[in-house]
Amino acid sequence: GRLELVGGGWCMSDEAAAHYGGALQQLALGRRFLRRLFGACGTPRVAWQIDPFGHARELAATFAQMGYDGLFLGRVDHQDKWARQQRRELELIWRGSDSLEPPRADIFTANGSRVHALYSTPSCYLRELHRANLTWPLKTDDFFPYSDGPHQFWTGYFSSRPAFKGYERLSSGFLQVCSQLETLAGPSVQDGPYGPGDSSVLREAVAVAQHHDAVAGTERQHVADDYARQLAKGWDSCQVLVANALSLLGGTKEPLVFCNGLNISVCPLSETTPHFTVILYNPLAWDVSWPVRLPVRATSYAVTDPQGRPVVPVSGVTRRLWGGAGGAPGELLFQAWAPPLGFSTFEVKQLSPGSTWDTPGWPSGTPWDPPRWPSGEPEPQIENEHLRVRFDPIMGHLLEIQNLAKGISLPVFQSFYWYNASAGDGLSPQASGAYIFRPDAATPVPVAKRAATHLLKTALVQEVQQNFSQWCSQVLRLRPGQPYLELEWTVGPIPVGDGLGKEVISRFETPLRTAGRFYTDSNGRQVLQRRAHLGTPGAGQSTPGAGQSTPEPRPTLLTPVPPVQDQKVQLTVLTDRSQGGSSLQDGSLELMVHRRLLHDDNRGLAEALDEPGADGRGLVVRGRHLVLLDTVEASPEQHRPRAQEMVTPPTVVLAPGTGPHLRQPHLSPPPQVSGLRRALPPNVHLLSLEPRGAGAVLLRLEHLYQVGESQNGSRAASVDLTV
């Protein structure tokens, strides 16, 4: 025949902002569709990634492991492509993984090959190359950053549309919850007591969201709105399915409620009901302990089991973000847990609606006061059994992190800055836009030199609330048993009344001697070493001098981020969505959390990246960074499971009253339901579990660690799948 199908995914996925789990899901969904439609002969043998803006090593490894014979790609940095043309190396072998023995992760890669559809097809061309018995150069890193000219680095899209990037990541995680419960509870959940449910709606919406003009953030505003609408429609359908499954597995017919506004502390049921049940479902293959935070109006509650927990105030930032539509004055916090691939139930009862607030360590005043600390506090700090975190008593910034068990102490300064987005200048008319990051100076501007700060200490949480400006704030939080520092940041609406587009970063500064080297992930999976040009703008970020550098400086594709390190100490920062970043100075790490621009970068979008937000005043974004401090040897066993918990977090469902009938008062601890009869080894991750019809189930397991990454974690693992 004359027709050949290439690629075969549900879309041509992005390679920078997409998580490997989402990229794999959309690829598998598209290939199943083609096989169903055309049979085995319609299954593509050639990967076709001609439009994404740079190319990732992890995606090359994925294509190789899925049996593709070759990968054709289109966008390579203009300097890299010119050099390869001179060396006649536009065709090569790309080794996508160090953990798999060659050739399991090797794939033939071509850029600019002379393929003419009239005389050949990609697979025919590859067949002739193999017959010629040629040898090709070997590539082991990735094709980032991409630039198509001086001052034209396509690194802005690593962070464009941060709210949608976060929504896509949450949607991918909830799709796993939906698919797992559909598998565990059986096909009857598709039409249960709460109505018809269907996981395919969300599965297809998440697959579309992997497109290189979707999760990348390079689509027009009305298109981004439609992507979000498709995801929301998928959530609705999956929530019905999840409710049906929990009803079947938990033996309840009570109405189940999903609080989709918890990120802004809004949940109508917990705010208005004095007696309700919390159901925590854990989609991971290991036990999870998870903080449940629910907005409430009363001040005294009993939680069984765990026992009663204190109510803490909601920051003024949370109330202001919602604009008064919610407005619960307090937040109930308790630590919940759930077994692998299962759920636990917790009963919450209001005790005394007339009680006054009891908030130890909470000073008087407003969130906009200068830094103030409780009297008698010799130095502002928060701590638990793992970490002690110190703060500057005058400026209010993070000062130092201590790992108490390891005796490690590291000065860490963290604050927020913004780059002034270029509108073009005498060097180049290129403006910063949805695709391209081009600041007009190498040095960013501090959002504020001082942070207005409050300190809160209770039995369940210790936190410092920082306000840098009316549009930038952060909460740094420690809980008992938590081996990491949580930074929950809120940025926006970014002010542009001065006529300046702004690109906001969170920057960590340490004295670590990193010799210009730092490490990032590839699509959230492999960890790769990067190298920056110290003292010069670059690392894949377009500054006035970036066009003079070679393509060697890399962007930091942070989906999680390990690590800034020296000989003994490693600082690891995990993110909850794709973010661009780099290490422009020794021992530093910066992550771009938000962008608001006033000019188009002339790459086809034809509009500025100026998101209006819910009220038209500009987009407000809230996200999290997790910071870990440990030895280099011990760090992987800390950040690997934490990263998976961020990608696939537990799901919280509420029910009025006692909820599932399997919750019996005489049982303690609360009953738990698990889909696993035996726990998986700690270094094995359950990547996906979904039904395939006619009693078939698709199960994907993966090793959590790279070869040589961890002394214990990198060991071979075996799993017994017999019943």
Condensed to tens digits (0 to 9), the pLDDT of residues 653-698 reads 999 986 554 444 433 334 578 888 888 999 999 999 999 888 899 9
Residue 372 contacts by C-beta under 8 Å, 6 or more apart in sequence?
363, 365, 453, 454
Q: pLDDT band for position 108 (50/70/90)?
A: low
The question of whether 51 is a catalytic residue gets the answer yes
How many residues can be counted in the chain? 723
Domain spans in the chain, listed from the N-terminal domain onward: 20-143, 162-358+651-674
Q: Please, what is the Cα angle at 208 between 527 and 576, to 5 degrees? A: 40
Condensed to tens digits (0 to 9), the pLDDT of residues 204-261 reads 999 999 999 999 999 999 999 999 999 999 999 999 999 999 998 887 778 899 999 9
Query: For the residues 445-474, what does the mean pLDDT come to?
Result: 93
Contact 65, 673 (CB under 8 A): no
Bigger pLDDT: 175 or 586? 175
Of the listed ranges 480-494, 536-550, 554-568, 636-650, the one predicted with least confidence = 536-550
Bigger pLDDT: 702 or 368? 702
Distances (CA, A) of 296 to 308, 311, 317, 466: 14, 8, 16, 23
Q: How many CB atoms lie within 10 A of CB 127?
A: 15
3-state secondary structure 478-523: ECCCCCCEEEEEEECCCCCCCCCCEEEEEEEECCCCCCCEEEEEEC
Residue 10 has pLDDT above 90, yes or no: yes
Q: Can you give the pLDDT at residue 638?
A: 93
Q: Can you give the pLDDT at residue 576?
A: 93
Closest to 192 in 3D by CA, of 138, 277, 256, 115: 256
CATH code for the part of the protein at 162-358+651-674: 2.60.40.1180
Residue 478 has pLDDT above 50, yes or no: yes
Query: For the residues 565-572, what does the mean pLDDT come to?
Result: 76
Q: Can you give the pLDDT at residue 568?
A: 84
SS3 87: helix
> Alpha-carbon distance 167 to 622, whole Å?
11
Q: Please tell me which residue in 51, 358, 369, 615 is annotated as part of the active site.
A: 51
Query: For the residues 183-196, what does the mean pLDDT come to?
Result: 92
Which residue bears the tokens 């992507």? 227
Distances (CA, A) of 536 to 154, 168, 511, 518, 556: 18, 34, 18, 16, 16
Condensed to tens digits (0 to 9), the pLDDT of residues 51-72 reads 999 999 999 999 999 989 899 9
Q: Can you give the pLDDT at residue 115?
A: 45
Residue 562 has pLDDT above 80, yes or no: no
CATH code for the part of the protein at 20-143: 3.20.110.10
Q: Can you give the pLDDT at residue 497?
A: 95
Residue 201 has pLDDT above 80, yes or no: yes
Contact 622, 263 (CB under 8 A): yes
Contact 313, 357 (CB under 8 A): yes
Q: pLDDT band for position 97 (50/70/90)?
A: confident
| Residue 164 C-beta-side C-alpha neighbours within 13 Å | 35
Q: Can you give the pLDDT at residue 667?
A: 37
Contact 199, 174 (CB under 8 A): no
SS3 597: coil
> Alpha-carbon distance 424 to 427, whole Å?
8
Rounded-to-10 torsion of CA 468, 376, 374, 450 = -10
Q: pLDDT band for position 393 (50/70/90)?
A: very high
What pTM does this model have? 0.90
| 192 phi, psi to nearest 5 deg | -110, -160
Q: What is the DSSP string of 295-357?
A: EESSS-EEEESS----EEEPPHHHHHHHTTSS--SEEEEEEEEE-TTEEEEEEEEE--TTPPP
Condensed to tens digits (0 to 9), the pLDDT of residues 605-660 reads 999 999 999 899 999 999 999 999 999 899 999 999 999 999 999 999 999 986 55
Q: Can you give the pLDDT at residue 253?
A: 77
Q: Can you give the pLDDT at residue 544?
A: 37
Closest to 507 in 3D by CA, of 472, 533, 478, 456: 472
Closest to 659 in 3D by CA, of 350, 349, 352: 349
Q: Please, what is the Cα angle at 529 between 159 and 14, to 5 degrees? A: 35
What percent of the chain stands above pLDDT 90? 59
Residue 370 has pLDDT above 90, yes or no: no
pLDDT, averaged across the chain? 84
